Chain A
Amino acid sequence: MWIERVHIKGFGCLTERTYEFPEGKAILVLEDNECGKSTLAAAILNCLCGLPKRKQAGEKIKLSEVYKPWAGGAYAVEMDLRANGSAYHVERDFARGSFTIRDIETGRDVSAQCSEDLAYHFLRLPREDYARLAMLSGKEIHHFEGSATIQGRLTALVDGAEDSSGDAAIATLESVGCTLGGRQIKIETAIKRLNDDIAEKQSAIRELDVSLAEASIDAAAMDNARERAGELTNNLDALDLEFKAARLREVTERIAGEQSGADEIARLTAEMKGLERYSSFPVERGAQLEGAAARLGAAKERAAELENKMEGLRREAGEVKSRVDPQSRFADATSEDAASLVGFEDSVKTAADARAKRREAVDLERRALANDGIDTEASSRQWGHFERLTVPNKELLRSCREMELRIASDQREFETNASGCETDLGKIKHGRAKLRGLGKMLLAGGGLCALASAALILTQLIPMPAAMLAAVLAVGAIIAGAVELTRSGSFDADEKALLERWLDEAEAGMESANSRLEDLRRQMKQIADSISVDPANVVDDFREYERAMGRAETLGQLNAQLSQAEESLRSVQERATAALKRLGIVVEPGDDIVEALGRAREALNKYLADRDKLARLDQEIGTLGREIEKVRAGIAEEQEIAQDILGDAGIDKTLPLDVALKAFGEAERNYRRYREIRDSLLPAVGGRAVSDDTLAALRSEYSELEIALAGSDVKSTRASAEVESERESTRRMLGETNGQVRDLERRVGSRVDAYRSEYPSLRESLEALLHELAKVERFGTAISAAADVMREVSRDSRRKWASALNESASAMLPSLNHDYDTLRFDDSLSFTLRRVSNGRVIDKHELDSCLSTGAKDQVYLAVRLACCDELSSAGEPIPIILDDPLMAADDERFRSGFEYLAGELPKRHQVIILSCHKARHARLLDETWFAENVSVLAL
């Protein structure tokens, strides 16, 4: 892209100005401060890209306010440019915010097809990126004082970060923590603590839930007990009626019975005797036995089911344990150990890579030394005498050639100046001679003419007016001659005086230069004599010596770095080995430590997972075990009840339960017969003879029973005594059942109370912790993602730039500073340079301390220009605006640098150079290349 013309209607201090930028030439705007150079650059930028719509970070006022015309009026800039093979006319009115771009050839308005940011449209560089890369100010050199290193400044350029480079951002992201419990801690630690707290709360809630579930079981048991109590109450009511019915039947029979047979008594007595052993049979416990047997069966089924489940869990736990036990060395290990192993793996790999790189650098330098035929030891022996020289003498030898060149250059310059002055003085002398000749000629002519006119007047050969006219002409010629003679004395007097002063200065300078040259040669000779060296060769020998020593020093430094890298590797390996040893893993010398770390990490992760699983299984087994114990206790209790009943009934307790139950039934039948004979049959037979009182009492009882049973159809075939016995047993069972209900009520109540007092606050705490965990986890995930992406994009961007800049910046640098070449960037944009004078490669660590401000400036300029080359390589060339780019350069470097900027660079880019250093540029005005390549623009 080429900007051909800019017309500023009004922009800052510039109003109604038009500037033409001829093609192929560098534009030099050479004006004093405050004349509007930077305003012109801003006008070009803003006409090209437009003003930013939003206030930029750090700006107090918007840019659109900054550049409002000082004199009022239109706030607009127009521009003609050429891009993509077409010519365009751009109009921007900043006051109205309007933008128009027309194709000059067709006159068509193409605004709709263009982005308002033309740098973006034509160069694919949005405003900020264009300004960052293509607008270079020499004042940026001051940033080196703010930035720690030149590498930092380059990184900031590539990253586009003003206040904080990508490295600082990554460091911030990597070190960020969060506040927990009023303390700033690592995110991982916060997550771990929160998880621990959550697990604790969840465990407490689970315990409460289990307790509530147990309360539910108790509540169900309580319901059953209540139901049983209800049934027993109903049974008792029925037995009351049955007792009355039985008693009524017996009373009726007694009253009605008159006779009792002795034979029958004897038979019944004999039978009763045979059944005597069943007399104390606990018939009332039959129902209990039946209930116990049913519960026993159910409990056994439940126990079997739980045991099966337990067996499964134990089997699983056994399998896990078989994996965990052999790894007892990890017994005290935690997930933090696994994380530290990962860290060690990375550290060892990084350190090993660093060592390999250092080793490669050493090998490379050694090969380079061999290729260059440098034997540092031999050189040291051959030129050992230079070691005896003092530091100032060495410095003198080092700079001797340069000083000679500089003196020769000065001599040439003085010669040129003197010759120029002499030429100009000759011209002045010639001019004066011409004037003097003319004056004399006029005086002579005037005199002759005056004499002739006097003669004519006297002789009156011609009319008087004509003679008078001739006399006047003669006087005029005399006066003119006198004037010319006077002028010849003062012609170019100031210029002559100036030239004569310059000539004197040049001659004095020449003498001074000669004197300096002689001094220099004398000093050289003294130095050469002091070390017995031929003065003619002392400088070259010393250069050769320095070159060899410089390379030796480089090699030494590289070796030192290699040692340092090896030490780092050894240190990290030792720490890794120690970490492994703490985990019971011994690393033998020669073992691959990374592989060992990897194996250990995998084994540890597996172990930790198994250990957690085992703990969970143990917990489940414990819970299940308690449940089984509870069921077994129930079984034992029921068995005890059953055996107690069987024991009471005289049944062999060792019999299987079903056989024992049958025997119990048989015994019960015998007992009932015994009771029938004793309580009913014998009394019935014996009662045939009763007294009148007894009979009356029986009749009274009969009446009462009849009233009590009125309307009831209850019948009983059993003896009242038997019914009474059962009634008593039922009463006892009801009492026991009510007792159970009260116990269960107490248990359920206490569990529910505990649940209600603890659950709400636990739930609330858990929710708060989960919320905090979600927040911290998301923070951790986001920070980690941001750091990863930042590292990735930073690395990619720098790598891309490093590879692009290696060639072009390196090729450009000697044109800007001939002392250095071979600029080499690595992926971190750190770089090395080679000093041409001694071939020594300047390590990146030395750069900032070794390079002068001017040299840094030129390296940085080379990189900036290389950036523009790189960005132009695939499309339109980028117009470059340079504001005093070589302000820190010495005269020689200024000249050569400017020649490159004005002579070479415009072949690839449009170059606009702004400067306020008129004197420096004035010295270049007579250079042919300057006249051919530079167009000086006046504001």
Chain B
Amino acid sequence: MRFVQFSDVHLDSSIGGALNLPADKRAILRRDIATSLARACALVGEYRADVVLVPGDLFDYESVTPETASLAADMFASIAPTPVFISPGNHDSLCPASPYIDPSGFRWPENVRIFTDSSFQTIEIPESGCSVTGMAHAHAGITDRLLAQPIARGQAGVSILLFHGSRDGFIPAAQETVIPFSDAELLAQGFTYTAVGHYHSPAYILDGSGSIKAAYSGCIQGRDTGESGERVALVGEITPDGRVEIEKREVAERRIVTVDVDVTGTKDLFGLVAKVEAVQAASGARPQDIVSVSLYGAAASTLDLDPEKIERSGQYFHTSVNAGRVVPDYDLQAIARDSAAPSLKSSFVRRMMEMIENAPDERDRLALRDAVYYGLYALDGRKLEPRDVD
């Protein structure tokens, strides 16, 4: 039995601010998401898939338009009669007037099967000899450990579990935790394969023998610096003996490419632009890609870090430059060297370094690190401006 899996499409979602995209490019990137969905659907015919698995976050509830929902419905209709199973996630949860539920008045094609119950339900597919068990986030996010209890499987030989949840130990920073589960809890359910959504990078969960038992496909279109590189849908096959083989297929036409550029030792803007362009070229970025340049290292006081002057090559769809990790070119260790007659600068840096070492948390530490530079700037008569926060 063959399947195509994709999730975290986030149709009509907002675009990450870190890329500094202007409004027209944000609109283009939002259209790119729909294009990626179309390319993922096209894999069904190419791969002769028996079933499509969508474990959540097909769209963002708060911003999805009826037109976009219709577009998705048309794409799914185009691959009928292949059944499409959707297990709504925390972003496309079953809030009032969700396109998933009857009162919305929205009609999905016959081949689309949406789980609308917040407890696990099973749908049998006799023609494929498999069953799909899934559930829906009935509100903005379920945080119960639903996999801690046994989940009833279908009668068919191949049983597939479909849900939107957070794998323990891999929860990305600043991401909401929904239906947390451990690998052991998931494997204990005994499903042939589990399609999981929520995390935006692909990942496999293997059993003790190294066989794939579950997978995240990740998002299908990068929208922020945390979603760089290839964005894929999964095409997989479950063999009669229950073995799962999976292949990643890139569906995003436009990638986000992140590069780090060390500014240490760079003397002037020309040198910096040349360095940035060299790193961009080496990154393999294509003209249609978005390149996110993160500058780091120690910058000389004379170095101009104005992003608008640095991102002027115009070779790529968009280039964003962030200088949040750049620190001023001060040799703090040398300044803080022990002396019988320390200068004010030396005493100041030494005291600040003590405070940084004893800072109670990372937040204080970062503020104190900034304080060192602000103090040195003030002593050197340089202009004080807020440094960017990561």
Which chain A residues have a beta carbon within 8 Å of chain B's beta carbons? 54, 57, 120, 123-126, 128-129, 132-133, 158-161, 163-166, 168-170, 172-173, 176, 178, 212, 215-216, 218-219, 222-223, 745, 748-749, 751-752, 755-756, 759-760, 763-764, 767-768, 771, 774-776, 778-779, 781-783, 785-786, 789-790, 792-794, 796-797, 867, 871, 874-875
Report the nearest B residue to A873, measured CB to CB: B340
Decide if B343 touches A161 in the complex (CB within 8 Å).
Answer: yes
Contact A782 B374 (CB under 8 A): yes
- Asked if B103 contacts A775 (CB within 8 A), the reply is no
- Does B337 belong to the interface (CB within 8 Å)? yes
**B97 contacts A752, C-beta separation under 8 Å:** yes
Interface centre among A128, A169, A752 (most CB of B within 10 A): A169
Residues of A within 8 A of B208 (CB): none
Q: Flag if B17 contacts A771 (CB, 8 Å).
A: yes
A-B contact count (CB 8 A): 168
B67 contact set on A, CB distance < 8 A? none
B371 touching A789 by the CB < 8 A rule? yes
Q: Are A871 and B370 in contact (CB under 8 A)?
A: no
Contact status B351-A789, CB under 8 Å? yes
Among A755, A778, A796, the residue within 8 A (CB) of B386 is A778
B95 contacts A216, C-beta separation under 8 Å: yes
Complexed CA–CA distance, A451 and B386 (Å)? 114
Of residues 341 through 360 on chain B, the ones whose CB sits less than 8 Å from some CB of chain A are 341-348, 351-352, 355
Cβ of A771: which chain B residues have Cβ within 8 Å of it?
17, 389
Do residues B344 and A794 form an inter-chain contact, with CB atoms below 8 A? yes
A871 to B341, CA, bound (A): 7
Are A128 and B343 in contact, CB atoms less than 8 angstroms apart?
Answer: yes
* Interface membership of B328, Cβ < 8 A: no
- Most chain B CB within a 10 A radius of its CB, from A218, A778, A874: A778
* Structural contact, B381 and A163, CB atoms closer than 8 A: yes
Complex alpha-carbon distance, A767 and B224, angstroms = 15
User: Does B366 touch A at the CB level, under 8 Å?
Assistant: yes
CA–CA, A488 to B385, complex, Å?
Answer: 87
| B207 interface residue (CB < 8 Å to A) | no
Known: A751-B96, A785-B371. A779 touches B378 (CB 8 A): no
Residues of A within 8 A of B374 (CB): 173, 176, 782-783, 786
B62, CB-defined interface residue at 8 Å: yes
20 additional contacts (CB under 8 A) given A178-B385, A763-B14 = A57-B380, A120-B339, A126-B339, A129-B341, A160-B344, A164-B378, A169-B344, A173-B378, A215-B95, A216-B95, A219-B103, A748-B96, A771-B389, A781-B367, A789-B348, A789-B351, A789-B352, A793-B351, A797-B342, A797-B344
Mark contacts of B359-388 with chain A using CB atoms, 8 A cut-off: 1 yes-contact digit, 0 otherwise.
000011011101110110011110011111
- The reply to whether A782 and B338 contact each other, CB–CB distance below 8 Å, is no
Chain A residues lying within 8 Å of B367, measured Cβ to Cβ, are 778, 781-782, 785
Chain B residues bordering chain A, tally (CB within 8 A): 46
- 7 A-B contacts (beta carbon < 8 Å): A169-B375, A215-B96, A749-B97, A755-B62, A782-B374, A786-B374, A789-B375
The answer to whether residues A760 and B62 also contact, given A120-B337, A163-B381, A172-B378 and a CB cut-off of 8 A, is yes
* Cα–Cα distance between A540 and B368 once the two chains are bound (Å): 64
Residue numbers in B under 8 Å from A745 (CB-CB): 103
Q: Does B331 have its Cβ within 8 Å of any Cβ on chain A?
A: yes
Interface centre among B64, B380, B389 (most CB of A within 10 A): B389
Known contacts A778-B386, A779-B387: A159-B337 contact under CB 8 Å? no
Question: Which secondary structure dominates chain A's binding surface?
Answer: helix
Alpha-carbon gap, A57 to B335, bound state (A): 13
Known: A129-B339, A778-B366, A782-B370. A164 touches B379 (CB 8 A): yes
By beta carbon, the residue of chain B nearest A222 is B103
Contact between chains at B337 and A779 (CB < 8 Å): no
Note all chain A residues with C-beta closer than 8 A to B351: 789, 792-793
Complex contact B375–A173 (CB within 8 A): yes
| B356 CB, min distance to chain A CBs, angstroms | 10
Contact of B371 among A124, A129, A776, A786 (CB under 8 A): A786
Residue contact A172 to B343, C-beta cutoff 8 Å: no
Complex contacts, A128 vs chain B, CB 8 Å: 343
8 Å CB interface, B42-87 against A: 62-64
CB closest residue in chain B, given A875? B340
Closest CB-CB distance, A781 to chain B, in whole Å? 4
* Residues 296-352 of B at the A interface (beta carbon under 8 Å): 331, 337-348, 351-352
Instruction: Verify B371–A782 contact, CB threshold 8 A.
Output: yes
Q: Give the top 8 A-B pairs by smallest Cβ distance, nearest first.
A: A160-B343, A779-B386, A752-B97, A159-B344, A169-B378, A782-B370, A786-B375, A782-B371
Please, how many angstroms separate the alpha-carbon atoms of A216 and B139 in the complex?
9
A748 B62 Cβ-Cβ under 8 A: no
Residue of B nearest to A170 (CB): B378
Enumerate chain A residues within 8 angstroms of B344, measured Cβ to Cβ.
Answer: 158-161, 165-166, 169, 790, 793-794, 797
Complex: how many Å from CA A274 to CA B348? 107
Minimum Cβ distance to chain A for residue B91 (Å): 12
CB-defined contacts of B371 to chain A, threshold 8 Å? 781-783, 785-786, 789
Q: How far, in whole Å, are A268 and B320 apart by their CA atoms in the complex?
A: 96
* CA A216 to CA B388, docked complex, whole Å: 40
Residues of A within 8 A of B366 (CB): 778
Q: Do A756 and B379 touch (CB < 8 A)?
A: no
Flag if B386 contacts A776 (CB, 8 Å). Answer: yes
Contacts of A222 in B (CB 8 A): 103
CA distance A173 to B370 in the complex (A): 13
Q: Are B378 and A786 in contact (CB under 8 A)?
A: yes
| Contacting residues, chain B, for A779 (C-beta < 8 A) | 370, 386-387
With a cutoff of 8 Å between Cβ atoms, the chain A residues found around residue B386 in the complex are 178, 775-776, 778-779
The answer to whether B340 touches A785 (Cβ under 8 A) is: no
B384 (CB) vs chain A CBs: closest residue: A176
CA distance A781 to B14 in the complex (A): 31
A781 to B346, CA, bound (A): 21
Whole-angstrom distance between the alpha carbons of A132 and B345 in the complex? 13
List the B side residues contacting A748 at CB < 8 Å: 96-97, 103
Contacts of A755 in B (CB 8 A): 62
Check A767/B17 contact, CB under 8 A, given A756-B63, A776-B386, A793-B348: yes
A165 to B379, CA, bound (A): 7
Within 8 Å CB of A875, what residues of B?
Answer: 340
A309 to B87, CA, bound (A): 37
A775 vs B367: C-alpha distance when bound (angstroms): 10
Say whether A775 contacts B388, CB under 8 Å. Answer: yes
User: Is there contact, CB below 8 Å, between A216 and B96?
Assistant: yes
**B17 pairs with A768, CB closer than 8 A:** yes
Q: How far is the CB of B313 from chain A (nearest CB, A)?
A: 27
Bound CA–CA A875/B385 (angstroms): 44
A219 touches B96 (CB 8 A): yes
The CA of A407 and the CA of B111, in the complex, are separated in Å by 122
Q: For the complex, give the distance between the alpha carbons of A57 and B343 in Å.
A: 15
In the bound assembly, the distance between CA atoms of A222 and B105 in angstroms comes to 14
Which partner residue on chain A sits nearest B363 by CB separation?
A: A778
Contact B342 A785, beta carbon cutoff 8 Å: no
Q: Are A161 and B341 in contact (CB under 8 A)?
A: no
Are B389 and A778 interface neighbours, CB within 8 A? yes
Residues of A within 8 A of B103 (CB): 219, 222-223, 745, 748
Contact indicator B341/A54 (Cβ below 8 Å): no
Asked if A756 and B62 make an inter-chain contact with CB atoms under 8 angstroms apart, the answer reads yes
Q: How far is the CA of A216 from the CA of B96 in the complex (A)?
A: 6
Q: Which residues of chain B are near A767, meaning CB under 8 Å?
A: 17
Give bound CA distance, A749 to B101, whole Å. 13
Q: Which residues of chain B have C-beta atoms less than 8 A from A172's C-beta?
A: 378, 381, 384
Kindly list chain B residues whose C-beta atoms are within 8 Å of the C-beta of A216: 95-96, 139
Q: In the complex, are the beta carbons of A173 and B384 less than 8 A apart?
A: yes
Interface string of B139-157 (1 = CB under 8 A from A): 1000000000000000000
Q: Are B340 and A871 in contact (CB under 8 A)?
A: yes
- Report A-chain residues with C-beta under 8 Å of the C-beta of B364: 781
Please judge, given known A-B contacts A749-B97, A756-B63, A775-B388, whether A797 and B378 are in contact too, CB under 8 Å.
no
